[in-house]
Amino acid sequence: MRELALTRGQTLAEALQRVPGLRTIQTGPSIVKPVIHGMHSNRVLIYNAGVRQEGQQWGSEHAPEVDPFVASRLTVVKGAASVMYGSDAVGGVILVEPEALDYRPGLRGRVESVLMSNNGLGALSATAEGARPQGLLGYRVQLSTRQAANARVPGYYLKNTGFQEYNGSATVGFTKNAFAAELYASTFNSRLGIFEGAHIGNTTDLLAAIERPEPLVKGDFSYAIGRPYQLIGHHLVRAAAHYELPRLGKLHLRYSYQRNNREEYDLVRQAYENEYQLRFNLTTQALDTYLDHRPLGGLRGKVGVSAQHQQNYYDGRYLIPFFTNRSLGAFATERWSRGHLELEAGARYDARHMQARLREVPTDQRSPEIRPQFSYGQLTGTVGAAYQLPAGWRLSAGAARGWRPPAINELFSQGVHHGSARFEQGDRSLREESTFNLYGGVTKKSERLSGELNVYHNRLNNYIYLRPGTEAVLTVRGAFLAYQYVQVDAALYGTDATASYRVADWLTATASYSAVRAYNRETGRHLELIPADRTAAALRLTLPTWRGLADNALSLRVEHTARQWRVRDDQDFAPPPAAYTLCHLDASTEAHLLGRPVALSLSVYNLFNTTYRDYLNAFRYFAPEVGRNVALRLTVPFGQSPAASSTP
């Protein structure tokens, strides 16, 4: 997992950017969310350590509450297999998987440290694991922290963009014969500064900020975090067990409890020291069971059921109501192969019942309490086929039908969105969104050439999106544009392509391209906030062992992101930013210190300190993206059998 090692210290979404078709949506330099094929937030599921991550993921400025140091593997799931994870994975599923417990006796571990030049980031993660001599009981403890000061764009610092993160996890496992059980607990705690220059009052303020070439207030190199900021805690406990049933297969059972607490501190007049303006508290419990059955006449697969209960509270300013969510799902996914042909199919049924509690007019104290209820239930299905051709070629194609119930914010949000001068209005009459996805691809694997080309066409009916307003809502604070959640029929399609060619034993050249198109099928206009086309090329050199330095590699990446010119000027406050080209450099080696392999790497992001803005950053109106960043990473293993523990 060398690729993952080179992302340590970055956020989950940044680490995922190396996967073809994955991009990010940002709110300033520290709040980053993954985008799969143009979709994000409510349409992307994240499974953290086998549990469906339930935070307030509807918000584009609510980053996933996941510690990337936990991951030994990051996987993006599309196609039939995604049926196992839930219906609303319209965009896809991201699996953040910790290393499997190691039941070999002894105590071992590693310390990973990262330093970054741009924002003075320091990250440290320590993992210790071991097992009892009999090998029945295994355990792992992991602690990590990330601390950063203000981010620097070419020329100046962005005030109040530092963050602090403290995370930890512990696992205990027991295994004997056909039975295995595991208890996992993790905690994620983060304080995230929000760029002060993005704190604006109304549309006039926003337009004035857009006009300014640079923010009025600049920061300096400081770790201090002031208002506005977010304070987030996410705590998870998961108990899982599996048992090998004779003749039937492996039966898995999993229960999880997670609690998400999000507090938002605005820059306001009545800013008393520790008082938040808005707090959400979401508790989710889930019970899943599935059977990984023995091959049945050539069929391999899984069948299972899952149930979930969720309760949300808020305090302070109204944005979304109290709600209780109950859902129940059942799925089956099967795979069959003979000779060169492989077929797969999956089906899933989900039912969800939601009750909200709110005042009829949320901003009026005397308004009566109402409890609207919503029930949804639909079928998800996928079919796929793959055919293996000679010389390492492989063809694949599939179709999937999916759906997603409207999310709480889409139904109920009502209020001013800070930093964007917009008044967001939900709609309680929204219906389920449904998707029909066709995809196909070619992959090639051979000694010298490897690569893949994928295309997809996603037809969405009742696609829910926040339509930018053109009419102003007049308030005593001035004018705000009214943004409304609406449903349209849309089509999202695109391609991801990547090819690698081994020019010589020591040199590999890689090129990749990804593009998404998203149209409102009713008006023919392109949708807002869709990533622009990206083309990348990389050269990777592997160098011979030199003076005890092994595994030497050097790679240079050039990345060109086009301008999103498909969005018309009247669809935004400012025209989409210009195209940009960035260069990144990675160098890694492994040295032997006191008989232990110590991994060392140096990365330089934005090598030429290019000034650019990205269309998918909500703060593109106020400031450019961060400048050059040099990252130094060091991983030191300790304890018994270090060689084994350094390779996940």
Partner 1 sequence: MTFAFSRPASLLAPALLALGLLGSCSKDETPLPAVRENELITSMRLKFVNQASTTDVRLATCKDLDGQGGNPPVIDPITLQANTVYTLTVDAVLNETSTTSEDVTPEIVREATNHLFVYKPTGAPLTVVVTDKDSQGLPFGLQARATTAGPGSGSLRVVLRHQVGTKDGTETPGSTDFDTTFPVTIR
Among 106, 316, 381, 597, binds partner 1 (CB under 8 A): 316
Distant-in-sequence, close-in-space partners of 18: CB < 8 Å, separation ≥ 6? 3, 7
**Closer residue to partner 1 (CB): 81 or 200:** 200
> Of 314, 412, 413, 328, whose CA–CA distance to 375 is shortest?
328
Strand partners, 414: 425
Nearest distance from residue 205's CB to partner 1, in Å? 5
**Closer residue to partner 1 (CB): 379 or 509:** 379
Among 88, 266, 334, 528, binds partner 1 (CB under 8 A): 266
The pattern of x and - marking residues 387 through 426 that bind partner 1 according to CB under 8 A reads -------------------x-------xxx------x-x-
The CB density around residue 592, as the number of other CB atoms within 10 Å, is: 11
Task: Provide φ and ψ at 641, rounded to 5°.
Answer: 40, 60
Angle at 647 between CA 645 and CA 648, to 5 degrees: 90
Contacts with partner 1 in 468-487 (CB under 8 A)? 473-480, 482
Helix (H, G, I), strand (E, B) or coil at 80: helix
The string of DSSP codes covering 531-563 is: PPPEEEEEEEEEE--BTTBEEEEEEEEEEEE--
Contacts with partner 1 in 92-151 (CB under 8 A)? none
**Closer residue to partner 1 (CB): 287 or 582:** 287
The CB density around residue 570, as the number of other CB atoms within 10 Å, is: 8
Residue 287's identity, in one-letter code, is L
Residue 305 engages partner 1 in binding (rule: CB under 8 A): no
Q: Name the segment binding partner 1 (CB under 8 A); options: 51-59, 315-323, 558-566, 615-623.
A: 315-323
Q: How many residues bind partner 1 (CB under 8 A)?
A: 74
Contacts with partner 1 in 185-204 (CB under 8 A)? 199-202, 204
Among 134, 274, 429, 470, binds partner 1 (CB under 8 A): 429
Q: Are strands 44-48 and 92-97 parallel, antiparallel or unpaired?
A: parallel
Q: Name the segment binding partner 1 (CB under 8 A); options: 9-17, 61-69, 147-155, 301-309.
A: 301-309
> Of 163, 311, 325, 170, whose CA–CA distance to 236 is shortest?
170
Among 82, 230, 277, 458, binds partner 1 (CB under 8 A): 277
Nearest distance from residue 212's CB to partner 1, in Å? 9
| Angstrom distance (rounded) from CA 551 to CA 540 | 13
Nearest distance from residue 574's CB to partner 1, in Å? 18
Nearest distance from residue 477's CB to partner 1, in Å? 5
**Closer residue to partner 1 (CB): 134 or 429:** 429
| Angstrom distance (rounded) from CA 410 to CA 554 | 46
Residue 210 engages partner 1 in binding (rule: CB under 8 A): no
| Angstrom distance (rounded) from CA 647 to CA 105 | 17
Nearest distance from residue 274's CB to partner 1, in Å? 15
Contacts with partner 1 in 19-38 (CB under 8 A)? none
The string of DSSP codes covering 171-211 is: EEEEEETTEEEEEEEEEEEEEEE--GGG---SHHHHHHHHH
**Closer residue to partner 1 (CB): 131 or 358:** 358
Contacts with partner 1 in 441-470 (CB under 8 A)? none
| Angstrom distance (rounded) from CA 563 to CA 534 | 10
Nearest distance from residue 493's CB to partner 1, in Å? 27
Task: Provide φ and ψ at 162, rounded to 5°.
Answer: -80, 170
Nearest distance from residue 289's CB to partner 1, in Å? 13
**Closer residue to partner 1 (CB): 3 or 360:** 360
Among 96, 430, 466, 536, binds partner 1 (CB under 8 A): 430
**Closer residue to partner 1 (CB): 258 or 508:** 258
Contacts with partner 1 in 318-377 (CB under 8 A)? 318, 322, 324, 326-328, 351-353, 357-359, 361-366, 369-370, 372-377
**Structure tokens given for 76:** 């993006």
Decide: 235 and 285 in contact? Cβ < 8 Å: no
Among 222, 289, 378, 535, binds partner 1 (CB under 8 A): 378
Residue 208 engages partner 1 in binding (rule: CB under 8 A): yes
For 241, how many CA atoms within 13 A lie in the half-sphere containing its CB?
8
* Structure letter (DSSP) for residue 621: T
Residue 309 engages partner 1 in binding (rule: CB under 8 A): yes
